[in-house]
Amino acid sequence: MFKDLDISKVSVLIAGAGSIGSVVGLLLKEKGYNVALYRRNPPFGVQPVSILGVVTKSIEIEILNKDTLAESSFKSAEIIILTSQKQQIRSILGDLGIGFDFSADQLLISLQNGLDPASEICEILKRELNKPVPRIISGVVWWSATALSTSEVYYHQSGITHLGIPEVSDCPKPPISALKEAVDLLKLINEIQTTENIETIIRQKLLLNTISPILALVKQPYPEALNNLATREVAHLAFDNALTIGKKLGWDLNNEILHRYHILLNSDTMLPTTAKHKDQPIHRASTQISAEKHGGKSSNAHELLKLFISKNSQLAEIILELIEELPPNYQATDPYELLQKIKGDPNFKMPICTLTSGQM
């Protein structure tokens, strides 16, 4: 659809433009696309935004909100990239529904952690907002960034992005050409791999994110947090619990990263710090970021932990209760106290899980 167009005339709206969205938006703008970031918090208008880390650059880019979007040329952007946390989908789409012209011809790329985000996007647009549903492509990013402020993002490490056509029962399945358009766009800024089963990749990434609530509770960065033996033991328990439930759910655990991670958590291997120099920001877990802003009850840990609880996981119930107690700007839990809280809980049962080479 876009291959014969001047890319400077192809409008891309990055919705929920925090750390990941800002990196994607700035790098696409540098490549020549007409890009705007959609945010809820000021400043708005044309603003300088900087990336540090893997690449270093500062670019002026337009930042819109729900009040300014309706008056801008981006109200009918050809491409929407959703990069918010999944628990924010409903509020962001609700805001966009006020001033954005959705159409079935648009390309919507969802780069979000969470169970089945494409189905939720379809449901909200079709059932709640009564809007046309764009061609939805789902993605999983295997790279990280941290927002230092509204105008600076630290790009910690590069990595691949998986893209695929999601299975959404209530919405038309996008043609393979939509996936190609998404690949052609994002390969300009990242290594891309396509998959015929993006849901499997989403679930595998979610299993890896199981330790995010643990790191949030102790407020320690990844990966050096795992050099604390108590933190590693709790992370090991949480990860084994997740793998056990994943097996029960019939999830495909044939993933090399899952296998390596399982070996790591079973070992006493010390991990190097990610910081290359003293000014590099720590890599905070996403659950910590959301809990610090809004408190634990609004963090992104709930969906996965509640799924585990529905499968009778006492450990997930304990962790969720601890997360929900966190106020905004909370104090860190001592890792050894956390371990004792978990092991001392009368409902706690030790999870046991192994990954064989056939499940790599």
Q: Give the range among 85-94, 145-154, 237-246, 265-274 with minimum mean pLDDT.
A: 265-274
Q: In what helix (H) or strand (E) does residue 81 lie, and over which residues does it extend? A: strand 79-82
Which parts of 165-255 fold into alpha helices (H)?
Answer: 176-186, 198-208, 212-218, 229-248
C-alpha to C-alpha distances, 146 to 155, 242, 308, nearest whole angstrom: 7, 26, 28
pLDDT on residue 229 = 92
Report whether pLDDT(193) > 70. Answer: yes
Instruction: Please check the confidence at residue 6 and state whether its pLDDT lies above 90.
Output: no
| Count of other CB atoms within 10 angstroms of residue 53 | 18
Task: Please tell me the predicted confidence (pLDDT) of residue 277.
Answer: 43
**Band of the pLDDT at 346, cuts 50, 70, 90?**
confident
Are residues 215 and 225 in contact, defined by beta-carbon separation less than 8 angstroms? Answer: yes
Q: Beta 144-147 vs 152-157: how paired, if at all?
A: antiparallel
Q: Span 11-19, mean pLDDT?
A: 94
Share of the chain above pLDDT 90, in %: 65
Query: Closest Cα to residue 246, out of 208, 214, 279, 211?
Result: 208
Summarised one tens digit per residue, pLDDT across range 242-262 is 999 999 999 999 888 889 888
Q: Which residue has the tokens 């050809």?
A: 78
Mean pLDDT, the chain, rounded, equals 89
Name the residue with tokens 């930042």. Answer: 63
At 54-75, the pLDDT tens digits run 999 999 999 999 999 999 999 9
* Cβ neighbours of 30 (radius 10 Å): 16
The b-or-e profile of 94-131 (16+ CB within 10 A means b, else e) is: ebbbebbebeeebbbbbbbbbebbbbbbbbbbeeebeb
**240 touches 355 (CB < 8 A):** no
Nearest to 18 by CA among 154, 221, 138, 204: 154
Residue 157 — pLDDT band, cuts 50, 70, 90?
A: confident
Cα–Cα distance, 122 to 170 (Å, whole number): 7
Determine the average pLDDT of the residues in 327-340. 94
Q: What per-residue confidence (pLDDT) applies to 274?
A: 57
153 band by pLDDT with thresholds 50, 70 and 90: very high
| Residue count of the chain | 360
47: left (phi over 0), alpha (psi -120 to 50) or beta: beta
pLDDT at 358 over 50: no
Confidence of residue 224 (pLDDT cuts 50, 70, 90): confident
Per-residue burial over 140-154, b = 16 or more CB atoms within 10 Å of its CB, e = otherwise: bbbbbbbbeebebbb
Predicted pLDDT at 360: 40
Task: Please report how many Cα atoms fall inside a 13 Å half-sphere around the Cα of residue 153, on the Cβ side.
Answer: 24
Q: What are phi and psi of 346, to 5 degrees?
A: -65, -20
Residue with tokens 């000014």, as numbered in its chain: 279
Q: How far is residue 333's CA from residue 234's CA, in Å, rounded to a whole number?
A: 12
Return the structure tokens found at 7.
């890319």
